[in-house]
Amino acid sequence: MATALDSASTPRRFTLHGPIRIWDLTERRLSLGGRNLWVAPDVETGNLTLGTEIVAKGYEEEHGERWVVDLITITSTTPDTRRRPGMPGRVRPRP
């Protein structure tokens, strides 16, 4: 039987799905579904790019400080079509 003490020591789990809106490899931080997440050091991140659809599973640290991702599943890859300064882009025909 679970007690209040047991549930307090067990981290809350989460699962989020959607496209990556922000990805910072240096800080291992990403934004998904309006939530900032931190990717655990042992999670592979080589294929992550903006716009990639993923399922992120993880846990909430104590006191809601950070949401840490411990498993990422890529569900589909979508090219990042937003133009960046200095990057070639598609030319739109004028009407």
Q: Where are the domains of the chain?
A: 10-76
pTM for this one?
0.70
Is the model more confident about 89 or about 70? 70
Q: What is the mean pLDDT of residues 2-29?
A: 82
Q: State how far the Cα of 72 lies from the Cα of 53, in Å rounded to an integer.
A: 10
Whole-number pLDDT of residue 8: 61
The structure tokens listed for 80 are 């990042």
Q: What is the dihedral of CA 48, 50, 56, 62, to 10 degrees?
A: 100
Q: Does domain 10-76 have CATH number 2.60.40.10?
A: no
